[in-house]
Amino acid sequence: MAGTRRLGVAVDFSPCSIKALKWTLDNIAREGDHIILVIIRPEQYEHGEMQLWAVTGSPLTPLAEFSDPTLFKKYGLESNSEVINIATSAANQKKVVVLVKIYWGDAREKLCEAIEHIPLDSLIMGNRGLGTIKRVIMGSVSNYIVNNASCPVTVVKSSD
């Protein structure tokens, strides 16, 4: 992958993460880039292959394989045709390689780990637009990543 950029997009299938994916594909993706959809699952699985991936995350999976509903079920994900369609269309039109990497655990920790492990040249993520009180109680994942990531981070703000 020498010479190609590895652009991570944090995807949790929420409207703000879908907006970040679209923004990435419309504004910065260029032919030959590797777009890595980084998915963080909050729960830790106790069985099978998932235990092996607790630290390093799942293997990098090509989008075509990830589109298989069986794989969604295996990883405990709900099928999301919108994300798959957006990424497939971009792969075909922009001639980018789309891969998927799944981590389990705290989004703050795991996104920072993804930057190092993959490694990523840049990370793009949405923000949920939490109000002041919720942000104080729950903390802001995007704020944490911006302040702790070892690569450039772009936060695509939600218009809501």
Please enumerate in sequence order all residues whose Cβ is within 8 A of that of 2, keeping only pairs 6 or more positions apart, or say none. none
Neighbour tally for 44: CB within 10 Å: 10
**What domains sit in the chain, N to C, each tagged with a CATH number?**
6-156 (3.40.50.620)
pLDDT, one tens digit per residue, over 83-106 is 999 999 999 999 999 999 999 888
Q: How many residues does the chain have?
A: 160
- Mean of pLDDT over the chain: 85
How many degrees, rounded to 5, is the angle at CA 146 between CA 143 and CA 148? Answer: 105
Kindly give the parts of the chain with pLDDT less than 50. 1, 134-138
Residue 1's pLDDT is 47
pLDDT, one tens digit per residue, over 49-67 is 555 666 778 889 999 888 8
Structure tokens at 94: 């922009």
> Is the separation of the CB atoms in 102 and 49 below 8 Å?
no
